[in-house]
Amino acid sequence: MSAPYFSADRVSVRYDRVRAIEDVSLHLDEGEIIALIGANGAGKTTTLRAITGLARLSTGEINFDGRRLDTLGADAVVAMGLSMVPEGRRVFPYMSVRDNLLMGAFRHNEKRAAASGDLARIFNLFPRLEERLGQQAGTLSGGEQQMVAIARALMSRPRLLLLDEPSLGLAPMLVQEIARTVVRINREDGVSVILVEQNSRMALAVSARAYVLETGGVALSGRSQDLAKDERIVRLYLGG
């Protein structure tokens, strides 16, 4: 049996003496969407930080497409084809939308024509951004800033996209729009996705499989459609 496209095996991260995550294991097949759900403080964001090289592992290892990631720096992880959309969007507020997007393409060092092709794809996904290209990103609405954050990550042409709470603070209609965009990125561009979400209903709807994190460890995992019917998940995370 071949190795999974992406895997994290018994990964632990500690901040000083405080355990953030312990023995977390998960995997993803190429072209798949998986979700990490759980309450605040469960370790979801730390797991993403470990994957991207922003948090040093205490134990375990992380592999992507046959290469070990946890021995690399964050810049090398991006060069491998991983891109992360951080919680809270974190756009460059005083830069234009256009310059925010071009920041995502910095590693390619290619001609302007190539960047223009990437922008055309972005405008197909997010038509509103084309209308606001010259506007300072900090003056956009929360939903529009989230579009900029996702689009900026896509400008690096990722093979694996990590999304940290993309629906946070957004109105229900915008949450649905973001969910549709995630599915579209996956299906049309073949980008694999790891989605961290407190909106568990949305996360389970768009993903094939999911992992439930509790107090720094994986408490439950399985097919998303099965977890959505699990009484414990319904009670704790779906408002049932």
DSSP notation for 36-50? EE--TTSSHHHHHHH
Question: How confident is the model at residue 232, as a pLDDT?
Answer: 86
CA 228-188-7 angle, to 5 degrees, is: 55
CA 59-199-102 angle, to 5 degrees, is: 75
Domain span including residue 108: 91-157
Looking at the structure, do residues 20 and 69 belong to the same domain, yes or no? yes
Q: What pLDDT digit, counting tens, does each position of 84-118 carry? A: 998 877 888 898 999 889 887 766 555 454 566 78
Q: How far apart are CA 65 and CA 54, in angstroms?
A: 19
Looking at the structure, do residues 109 and 149 belong to the same domain, yes or no? yes
Looking at the structure, do residues 238 and 131 belong to the same domain, yes or no? no
Residue located via tokens 């507020």: 93
At 84, give phi and psi (nearest 5°).
-120, 135
Looking at the structure, do residues 69 and 101 belong to the same domain, yes or no? no
Q: Which two tokens stand for residue 150?
A: 């996702």
Q: Is 240 a residue whose pLDDT tops 60?
A: no
Q: What is the helix (H) or strand (E) element at residue 125, kind and residue range?
A: helix 112-125
29 three-state secondary structure: coil
- Which of 157, 177, 203 is where one domain is finished? 157
Q: Is residue 18 part of a domain?
A: yes
Give pTM, 2 decimals.
0.92
Looking at the structure, do residues 45 and 67 belong to the same domain, yes or no? yes
Q: How far apart are CA 50 and CA 69, in angstroms?
A: 9
Cα dihedral 86, 21, 170, 208, rounded to 10, equals 100
Mean pLDDT is lowest, of 73-77, 79-83, 160-164, 201-205, for 73-77
Looking at the structure, do residues 46 and 65 belong to the same domain, yes or no? yes
- Mean pLDDT score of the chain, rounded to an integer? 88
Do residues 6 and 191 make contact, with C-beta atoms less than 8 angstroms apart? Answer: no
Q: Is residue 41 part of a domain?
A: yes
- Which of 157, 175, 208 is where one domain is finished? 157
Q: Is residue 139 part of a domain?
A: yes
Residues 6+ apart with CB under 8 A from 221: 26, 209, 210, 211, 212
